[in-house]
Amino acid sequence: MTATFDRRVKIAPSILSADFAALGPECRAIEDQGCDWVHVDVMDGHFVPNLTIGPAVCAALRPHIRTVMDVHLMIAPPEPLVDAFVDAGADMLTVHAEATDHLDRLVAQIRERGAKVGVALNPATPEEAVRYVLDKIDMVLVMSVNPGFGGQSFLASQVDKIARLRALIGDRPVHIQVDGGISPKTAGQVVAAGADVLVAGSAVFKGGSVDQPAVYGDNMRAIRAACEAQAGAA
């Protein structure tokens, strides 16, 4: 992480759509092709109806990630596993507001361990849920699908939420990340509304592989071009 706040659009491919048998090479491939962060989806089969990876896999991936290891925890309760994910090398650790009764305490727990803190909001959770922790966090993650799976359709209802959240954040150095259904079709509108970190799984990995990594670069360039086109049209 850089010391200064970076407001440029950043692409964080979700390795949920990568080849799980080759996660290390996949992380190196997307970084070589120009991604900004690497997004790791942790699902517990309880908070969300899917089961993915844990701290041991994050620790194994750490040497393969030179940029930001961005860990999205979809687990309840998150508190008992915070230390394990920080020890595994998470630079940004994002917890769901819906997964805890004590968000302020959880934010402090993560910060005390030295990681950056993100708070995620499910599609039905209003932006007000983060109002009283905005001075203590580094990022708000707006879920633009119901969490649990890659490849779902973008929920357009979240665009207004992003704009309201940007107004609520004001001049604080807090990123807005959007996760779910981001593609060249949807990226421009979320950036125009105020998002600066775009998570994209299927839209980055589709058609490529570790043997054909240039496709990942093409897919990311298409997302960036859509954002620039929207900015130029505004």
Ligand X SMILES: O=C(CO)[C@H](O)[C@H](O)COP(=O)(O)O
Q: Is 209 marked as a binding-site residue?
A: no
Per-residue contact string for residues 89-118; x = within reach of Fe ion by CB under 5 A:
------------------------------
CA 203 to chain centre: 14
Per DSSP, 51 falls in state B
Comparison of 173 and 207: residue with beta carbon closer to ligand X: 207
Query: Which residues between 26 and 65 bind ligand X (CB under 6 A)?
Result: 39, 41
Binding partner of residue 182 among ligand X, Fe ion, none, CB under 5 to 8 Å per kind? ligand X
Q: Which of 26, 70, 91, 179 binds Fe ion (CB under 5 A)?
A: 179
**Which amino acid type is present at position 207?**
G
Binding partner of residue 139 among ligand X, Fe ion, none, CB under 5 to 8 Å per kind? none
Long-range interactions of 49-58: CB distance < 8 A, separation 24+: 49/148, 50/148, 50/149, 52/16, 54/84, 55/81, 55/84, 55/85, 55/87, 55/88, 56/88, 57/23, 58/85, 58/88, 58/89, 58/90
Would residue 36 show up in a list of annotated catalytic residues for this protein?
no
Q: How far apart are CA 9 and CA 4, in angstroms?
A: 15
Q: Is 17 marked as a binding-site residue?
A: no
Query: Which residues between 138 and 157 bind ligand X (CB under 6 A)?
Result: 145, 147-152
**Which amino acid type is present at position 83?**
D
Q: Is 39 marked as a binding-site residue?
A: yes
Burial of 115 by CB count in 10 Å (0-12 exposed, 13-18 middle, 19+ buried)? buried
Would residue 19 show up in a list of annotated catalytic residues for this protein?
no
- Binding residue positions for a divalent metal cation: 39, 41, 72, 179
Given the rule CB under 6 A, which residues bind ligand X?
14, 16-17, 39, 41, 72, 145, 147-152, 179-182, 199-203
